[in-house]
Structure 1
Amino acid sequence: MLAKLRFLTAGESHGPALTVILEGIPAGLPLKPEDVNRDLRRRQKGYGRGLRSRKIESDSVRFLSGVRHGRTIGSPIAMLIENRDFENWRLAMSPEPLDELIPEEKLRPFFVPRPGHADLAGAVKFLTKDLRPVLERASARETAARVAAGAVAKKLLSEIGVQIVSHVAAIGYVTANIDASQMPLTEIMERTEASELRCLDPEAEAQMKQLIDEAMSKGETLGGIFEVIADGVPIGLGSHVQWDKKLDGRLAQAVMSIPAVKGVEIGRAFELAQRFGSQVHDPFLAPNPNAPDWRFFPRASNNAGGLEGGITNGERIVVRGAMKPISTLRSPLPSVDLRTLQPARAHVERSDVCAVPAAAVVAEAMVALVIADAVLEKFGGDSMEELKANINRFRELVRSWMAGGEPDAHPEKNQAPNS
């Protein structure tokens, strides 16, 4: 399926810069660097992050195309995020041919893959024993470019009343005991931005920090669970007619593509799989054609996470991702040296202890990109004015349909015969 909104990222972890091209944003969207930089800063925060995120990099975006005088112009938006750490890797990551006399160690190769990382699979795929090229692109550093693209998508969605937030639901075995499903999104945003772990439960956060400190002292890493909530999403996005048009499948793929994410659920999928149907499905309440949002057919609950049959139903979209512990351990696991095929300890690279809060911000971006694509797919429009007019027209059509009942499937039968 050809996306209406598409993006490509490029760049290596320690290369000169990350770049992203985002195509399909209508003309006339107000857009400033700060709209993107705000989310880039949020991605770099978090208790348990490494030195690079906390002190070395200070990400900011530079628009190269697609924006003029603070507004999009309808052409592809090109953005650049410089890697400040490149100064320390200029020789190792130089794109230019090198003098053969340069000592190998200055090029920072490594040959012992880390269990859980793309190292070995990438080495076999590209037939390279130096794992540096694999690491450089498989690194989660690439997600900064995704966050930049997602920030633009979030800006577009905010113009039509869609808001997206995230929070950390668990770190390791410590779980937050707060249900965010009905909490106002402004409150979720305020509380998570004030938390080092983007957690809504202060007591759980304190325990999470203790667990991260314990992991750090042991040379370990930790994963966890994050949740993304999108409110104000129009009813009717996505489709049931083909597998690749189902919006829940598109959301799951997008979140699953985030490094270290090994599981995705929509709504409360895994918990609900253990219950009877009457305990799972969301009963309808009285229809409200005058609803200010898209909840024309409100529900008593939202176990489905805002999607049924691959189509949005007007409720909040709720997506959870399970992130495994980061694969770089300071107390490395057994591995093998690809040069000799002899046992060795896995390579150790500068890394985080826990990056679940950052993954939550990346997931916001991915969810925003998928929803924005679905909005443009359904409503179209080369300018923001046209897009908004199309959305308002659909809203009025739904209200008219609700007021008049289902249209006659064969209107020609009720027409007077020609004289």
Structure 2
Amino acid sequence: MRRLRLLTAGESHGPGMTGILEGLPAGLRISTRGVDRDLARRQHGYGSGRRMLIERDRVEWTAGLRFGRTLGSPLAFSILNRDWQNWRDRMSVEAADGARRPKPVTLARPGHADLAGAIKYDTGDIRDVLERASARSTTPRVCAGAVCRQLLANAGVRIWSFVDQLGTIRAFPDAEDPLTEVAPDWWRQDLARPTPLRCPDPDAETAMQAEIDAVSAAGDSIGGSFVVVVEGLPIGLGSSAEWDTRVDSALAGAVMGIQAVKGVEIGLGFGVVSKRGSQVHDEVDSGRSSRWERRTNRAGGVEGGMTNGEPVVVRAAVKPVATLRKPLDAVDLHTGQRGRAHIERSDVAILPRAAIVGEAMVALVLADALLTSFGADTMSDLRAAVRRRRARSVRPRATDGAASE
């Protein structure tokens, strides 16, 4: 990111999670209730483990706010880990000799950071690695993303998400583009009364829940995919000038950085492989709208590394969680003996919660792109710059007699 910088710290079972978000303009009114709502959304979803019954995530601001508005200085915050009370001895920050240290974790889980991290950091206790690699570290990212969501809302931008596939079960399986089947006000219902899996297809959601139950009974885990949609973005965020200024490059990297995400698509994504150009590119509608509207949105709202005014659509593939109640084979770090991988309290499916993290990462990237494009030090400057961009994004009217549809 070029304008915003986010630094986070904290271990899964440590005292808490911490974040510092630098680069926000002065004068952004932050709703703490709105941030806490997104933190709560990250905690809920069918297939979640018991940890979510313990935590009650709430943000505590420690710097950068006065009377509910940003000052333009770094915004600092923390989120308490309630489960820390159960881990004080095992996660103590104080020095401890061998007799007082807990038994080390030595059997690495296939698919997790355990083995590579233990070798990289030269540790004989995998807990030194897994605590930070845990998805608990997404909590401050969701907090920062919630702040960026509120900044984007000042520019008329809305972000929402849904689960579109779990295992082999797809939402709206007969639709060429499942997004077109989602009710226009579904995002509003999702905020007010989310379904257990946050899937907009009721039949698919029922089948998904049954599949999670079966997977759980087998001691296994399951993955799938989620979609993040962003509406109302100004045209021209990002740049075609350099590879690292392209907004699609930043979006893909940010979403790929979420734990368990193994693939990212924007628009048709890998679907373009089997199609011809005439089936891929989006024609501009020559109707009477004052906007540069497209007849389709196969590009997912991004062309040439820049937003084109259509909704940005990002899809992420999420692998099954690496911790299994019936664990896979592993080799002990200390003895070299074969054993069963370490079992850590975990989830069966993370898709509903991963989608909320996806919203946060997309919000971070697009807030950064907005501020990079308009260079605002205050919210009033930003709103004025966005208005100017929208004013010059009006499509000229077709002259009388011109072809129209």
1:239 matched to 2:234: no
Within 2, Cα distance between the matches of 1:181 and 1:346? 43
What's the counterpart of residue 75 of structure 1?
73
Deviations 1:148-179 (A, max 9, x none): 00000000001110000000001111111172
* CA deviation after TM superposition for structure 1 residue 241, in Å: 1.1
Give the secondary-structure state (helix, strand or coil) at the position aligned to 1:210: helix
CA contact (8 A) 2:182 2:200 kept: no
1:165-244 alignment, distance < 5 Å: 165-177=160-172, 179-181=178-180, 183=182, 186-191=185-190, 193-244=193-244
CA contact (8 A) 2:165 2:225 kept: yes
* CA deviation after TM superposition for structure 1 residue 109, in Å: 2.2
* CA deviation after TM superposition for structure 1 residue 380, in Å: 1.5
What's the counterpart of residue 89 of structure 1?
87
Give TM-score scaled by structure 1 length: 0.90
What's the counterpart of residue 50 of structure 1?
49
1:10-409 alignment, distance < 5 Å: 10-53=9-52, 55-102=53-100, 104=101, 107-177=102-172, 179-181=178-180, 183=182, 186-191=185-190, 193-286=193-286, 291=290, 296-399=291-394, 402=396
CA contact (8 A) 1:36 1:61 kept: yes
Residues 120 and 315 (structure 1 numbering): CA distance in 2 closer, same or farther, change over 3 Å?
A: same
- AA in 1 matched with 2:44: K
Residues 185 and 377 (structure 1 numbering): CA distance in 2 closer, same or farther, change over 3 Å?
A: farther
CA contact (8 A) 1:165 1:185 kept: no
List gaps (5 residues or longer) in structure 2: 398-405
Deviations 1:366-389 (A, max 9, x none): 000000000000011111001111
* CA deviation after TM superposition for structure 1 residue 73, in Å: 1.2
Deviations 1:313-349 (A, max 9, x none): 1000000000000000000001100101111110100
- AA in 1 matched with 2:274: Q
* CA deviation after TM superposition for structure 1 residue 189, in Å: 3.6
**C-alpha root-mean-square deviation of aligned residues, in Å?**
1.7
CA contact (8 A) 1:252 1:265 kept: yes
- AA in 2 matched with 1:268: L
Identity %: 51
What's the counterpart of residue 406 of structure 1?
none
- AA in 1 matched with 2:89: L
Within 1, Cα distance between the matches of 2:108 and 2:243? 36
Within 2, Cα distance between the matches of 1:322 and 1:162? 25
Within 2, Cα distance between the matches of 1:19 and 1:189? 30
Within 1, Cα distance between the matches of 2:304 and 2:79? 38
Within 2, Cα distance between the matches of 1:191 and 1:32? 19
CA contact (8 A) 2:246 2:304 kept: yes
CA contact (8 A) 1:14 1:86 kept: yes
Residues 267 and 326 (structure 1 numbering): CA distance in 2 closer, same or farther, change over 3 Å?
A: same
What's the counterpart of residue 4 of structure 1?
3
Give the secondary-structure state (helix, strand or coil) at the position aligned to 2:377: coil
Within 2, Cα distance between the matches of 1:287 and 1:123? 60
Within 1, Cα distance between the matches of 2:88 and 2:263? 37
Give the secondary-structure state (helix, strand or coil) at the position aligned to 2:275: coil
Residues 99 and 126 (structure 1 numbering): CA distance in 2 closer, same or farther, change over 3 Å?
A: closer
* CA deviation after TM superposition for structure 1 residue 33, in Å: 1.7
- AA in 1 matched with 2:21: L
Give TM-score scaled by structure 2 length: 0.94
CA contact (8 A) 1:287 1:297 kept: no
What's the counterpart of residue 409 of structure 1?
none
- AA in 2 matched with 1:365: A
Higher mean C-alpha displacement, 192-201 vs 202-211: 192-201
Deviations 1:204-252 (A, max 9, x none): 0111001100011010001110000000011001111111011101000
